[in-house]
């Protein structure tokens, strides 16, 4: 039996109107942004990963996953929050120039000729985001979908510039609004502190109806929580791990009480649809791992935080002893076996942005942005 859906891919382009505000342009004010609300019956749709509008990347096979991270003690923090005004690592004008350059490079990462494509992707992206972009472009090319690639020239709105704290990496959080009207968030990083070394390391679409709280003025810069918990209700890394467990399939009994704005429900619904489709031939399970090195935490003006990270999800079909699965062409872009009698595995990069409250603030941790991209597949 053929299984037609490769993996869940959250689609945020369905029937959404442009009502997002793009934040203040005045360097002396904070910037906030919100995503348009979805219709009541369409809070989070799903689509085939081969046709996903995701963009991103790093080598998934070499990504460092974190099953039990031991580097962050919940009782420690290396960021001293202070009322003294700081200074951003880049001036506002320079940050806008970097953001413009990288979004232009992002366009080239989808549209450059084949002989320059890899170089263009390396200029725009690094880490997990590059792997996802490379996989998406490869899928679209081999499936004849290249003309439908979500490549367009985007205008940046710099929301946050990391505050000078003597530490690396330096970070920029940028918003753009594609023609679809669904706001995109881009995290840009320089591991050396040199402006020419900034690359996009994370991208995700804002979920319908979500918004970001206000950051400090861009000239002052945004504090980065480098490790530990600070004054937050949870260690950022642990919050992402709990979410990773919560969206696994079958659904675990423990519910962390997070607000996922339709995301968890969409992921599990797609997994259940796949499981039902192959129930007579195979069992299905999904497990998510945190990519440890991708976790970044930017502080909002009110002391809460924007936690940014990525997961790797393996969707495993365990084939019954008397059955055969015939994979679709999308699977064969990565895998070689045209008939599977043991198992099939689909690997997806999942990009997550969460709002994590500070202690004493109302409301649970919530998922603000999400994006998924199939990056590998194999079986036997």
Residue 207: pLDDT over 60: yes
Positions of E strands within the chain: 8-11, 33-34, 45-48, 65-66, 157-161, 170-176, 184-190, 199-206, 211-212, 282-291, 296-299, 305-319, 343-356, 366-379
pLDDT at 128 > cutoff 70: yes
SS3 state at 31: coil
* Structure tokens belonging to residue 56: 């991103």
Q: What is the pTM assigned to this prediction?
A: 0.81
Spatial separation of the C-alpha atoms in residues 162 and 86, rounded to whole Å? 10
Give the mean pLDDT of 306-314.
Answer: 98
- Asked if pLDDT for residue 254 goes beyond 70, the answer is yes
Residue 64, pLDDT above cutoff 60:
no
Structure tokens given for 117: 């494509």
Chain segment 256-294, per-residue pLDDT in tens? 999 999 999 999 999 999 899 888 889 999 999 999 999
Distance in angstroms (rounded) separating the CA atoms of residues 9 and 7: 6
Is residue 115 predicted with pLDDT exceeding 80?
yes
Q: What is the mean pLDDT of residues 240-249?
A: 96
348 close to 313: Cβ distance less than 8 angstroms: yes
Predicted local distance difference test score (pLDDT) of residue 78: 39
Render pLDDT for 92-103 as a digit per residue (tens, 0 to 9): 999 999 999 999
pLDDT at 14 exceeding the cut of 60: no
Q: What mean pLDDT is reported for the chain?
A: 81
Percent of the chain with pLDDT over 70: 77
- CA–CA distance, 110 with 362 (Å, rounded to integer): 42
Q: Report whether pLDDT(82) > 50.
A: no
Question: Pairing mode, if any, of strands 170-176 and 33-34?
Answer: unpaired
Tokens of 307: 């936690």
Lowest-confidence range among 59-68, 189-198, 249-258? 59-68
Which of 20-24, 164-168, 183-187 is the least confident region? Answer: 20-24
* Mean pLDDT on 231-243: 97
Q: For residue 287, give the 3-state DSSP assignment.
A: strand
Give the length of the chain: 380
């Amino acid at each position: 039996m053929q299984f037609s859906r490769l993996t869940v891919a959250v689609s945020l382009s369905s029937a959404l109107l442009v009502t997002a505000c793009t934040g203040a342009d005045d360097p002396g004010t904070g910037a906030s942004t919100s995503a348009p609300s979805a219709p009541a019956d369409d809070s989070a749709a799903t689509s085939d990963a081969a046709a996903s509008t995701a963009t991103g990347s790093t080598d998934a096979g070499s990504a460092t996953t974190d099953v039990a991270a031991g580097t962050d003690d919940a009782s420690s923090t290396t960021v001293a929050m202070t009322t003294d005004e700081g200074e951003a690592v880049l001036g506002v004008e320079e940050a806008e120039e970097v953001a413009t350059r990288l979004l232009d490079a992002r366009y080239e990462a989808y549209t450059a000729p084949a002989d320059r494509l890899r170089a263009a992707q390396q200029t725009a992206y690094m880490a997990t985001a590059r792997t996802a972009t490379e996989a998406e472009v490869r899928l679209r090319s081999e499936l004849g979908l290249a003309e439908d690639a979500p490549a367009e020239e985007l205008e940046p709105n710099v929301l946050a510039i990391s505050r000078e704290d003597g530490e690396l990496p330096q970070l920029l959080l940028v918003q753009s609004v594609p023609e679809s009207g669904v706001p995109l968030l881009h995290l840009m990083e320089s591991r050396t502190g040199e402006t020419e070394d900034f690359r996009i390391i994370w991208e995700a679409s804002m979920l319908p109806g979500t918004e970001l709280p206000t950051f400090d003025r861009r000239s002052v810069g945004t504090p980065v929580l480098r490790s530990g918990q600070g004054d937050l209700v949870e260690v950022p890394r642990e919050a992402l791990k709990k979410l990773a467990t919560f969206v696994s399939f079958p659904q675990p009994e423990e519910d962390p009480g997070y607000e996922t704005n339709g995301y968890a429900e969409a992921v599990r619904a797609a997994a259940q649809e796949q499981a039902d489709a192959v129930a007579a031939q195979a069992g299905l399970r999904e497990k998510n791992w945190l990519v440890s090195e991708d976790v970044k935490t930017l502080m909002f003006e009110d002391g809460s935080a924007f936690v940014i990270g990525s997961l790797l999800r393996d969707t495993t079909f365990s084939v019954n002893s008397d059955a055969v699965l015939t994979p679709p062409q999308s699977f064969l872009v990565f895998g070689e076996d045209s008939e599977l009698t043991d198992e099939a595995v689909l690997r997806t990069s999942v990009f997550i942005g969460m709002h994590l409250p500070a202690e004493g603030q109302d409301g649970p941790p919530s998922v603000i942005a999400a994006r998924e991209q199939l990056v590998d597949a194999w079986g036997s």
